[in-house]
Amino acid sequence: MLKGKHLLEPMDFSVEELDEIFDLAERIIEDPQKYKHVCDGKLLATLFFEPSTRTRLSFEAAMLRLGGQVLGFSEASSSSIAKGESIADTVRTVAAYADIIVMRHPKEGAPRIGSGFSDIPLVNAGDGGHQHPTQTLTDLLTIRYTKQSFNNLTIGVCGDLKFGRTVHSLIKAMSRYPGNRFCLISPEELVIPEYVRKEVLQKNNITFREVRRLEDAIADLDVLYMTRVQRERFFNEEDYIRLKDSYILDADKMKLAKEDMIVLHPLPRVNEIAVEVDQDSRALYFKQARYGMYVRMALMMKLLGADEGGVN
């Protein structure tokens, strides 16, 4: 039963609960008209303390497509946080106005702190370099829709594995399914954090290898998850400039990949996927962004206790 729950990390929900969300998302994709009034009268509050295009707008589109309404802010400077108000007081106040809160914040753990002051569901929309659970729902729905399974996949994650929160969440989530293997492709300076290597991969006896060159791994992959180098998390602009173009997926590299490999990217992209790859049928990142809206529709319905007949 997901009604009333918060979503702070991908592991907050069991595999069975995630399946419920994906089943519902697929039903919505098949017949979106059927769901256009199921959240009539419900209000979503979006509290974004960091920039966003996809996450904020897909949540807002999702609620509007379910018949509900939205309110919120897209930068801290337009809220009373700018006057020194705490996260706790902000969340407590907004929880008195809305039915569900979505929060993005640059500080790791901020949504968790907020959730302690919310008597309505609060969803983490990305906290610093930590977690981004609804991006993981998006990624998993895209994999399920195209591969029809979460099992026995070789998943390459490429780019900024140190600061890329979507990668940390994806590895955690896909480690729960049997037979998956990971190929971690990054420069030495941007390797996966030790806690992911030890607490997720090694602890669960997941097969993984670390490589420096995308060309050395791409032929083995079923899923290639590209990420941008996260400029906003660097302390030093020189390091960012040195590392930002470490990997560029182009048409020549795609020739080395399997015919049914899929390319995912949480977006925004900077240079790491050449625009020419967009024409390749294996490039799914814009479809993935659309699936993100459907999976957020399903998630909010579950957290609000709504089904095809409306809110219960």
Contacts 24+ apart (CB under 8 A), 53-56: 53/267, 53/268, 54/266, 54/267, 54/268, 54/289, 54/292, 55/102, 55/104, 55/125, 55/126, 55/132, 55/134, 55/135, 55/292, 56/102, 56/104, 56/125
Residue 290 C-beta: closest distance to ligand CP, Å: 12
Residue closer to ligand CP (CB basis): 135 or 154:
135
Q: Which residues contact 202 (CB under 8 A, 6 or more apart)?
A: none
Residue closer to ligand CP (CB basis): 27 or 287:
287
Residue 205 C-beta: closest distance to ligand CP, Å: 30
Residue 136 binds ligand CP, judged by CB under 6 A = no
Q: Give the residue, chosen from 4, 41, 179, 268, that forms a contact with ligand CP under the rule CB under 6 A.
A: 268
Residue 16 C-beta: closest distance to ligand CP, Å: 26
Residue 179 binds ligand CP, judged by CB under 6 A = no
Residue closer to ligand CP (CB basis): 14 or 53:
53
Name the residue type at position 174.
M
Residue 52 binds ligand CP, judged by CB under 6 A = yes
Q: Give the residue, chosen from 46, 74, 135, 227, that forms a contact with ligand CP under the rule CB under 6 A.
A: 135
Q: Which x/- pattern, by CB under 6 A, does the window 138-177 give for ligand CP?
A: ----------------------------------------
Q: In angstroms, rounded to a whole number, what is the distance separating the alpha carbons of residues 156 and 22? A: 23
Which window, 86-94, 143-151, 181-189, 260-268, contacts ligand CP (CB under 6 A)?
260-268
Q: Give the residue, chosen from 73, 266, 296, 298, that forms a contact with ligand CP under the rule CB under 6 A.
A: 266
Residue 50 C-beta: closest distance to ligand CP, Å: 8
Residue 53 C-beta: closest distance to ligand CP, Å: 4
Residue 53 binds ligand CP, judged by CB under 6 A = yes
Residue closer to ligand CP (CB basis): 170 or 261:
170
Residue 132 C-beta: closest distance to ligand CP, Å: 6
Q: In angstroms, rounded to a whole number, what is the distance separating the alpha carbons of residues 24 and 38? A: 13
CA distances to 21, 96, 274 from 251, rounded to whole Å, are 35, 51, 8
Residue 116 binds ligand CP, judged by CB under 6 A = no
Which window, 1-9, 52-60, 177-185, 245-253, contacts ligand CP (CB under 6 A)?
52-60
User: By the criterion CB under 6 A, which residues form the site for ligand CP?
Assistant: 52-55, 126, 135, 266-268
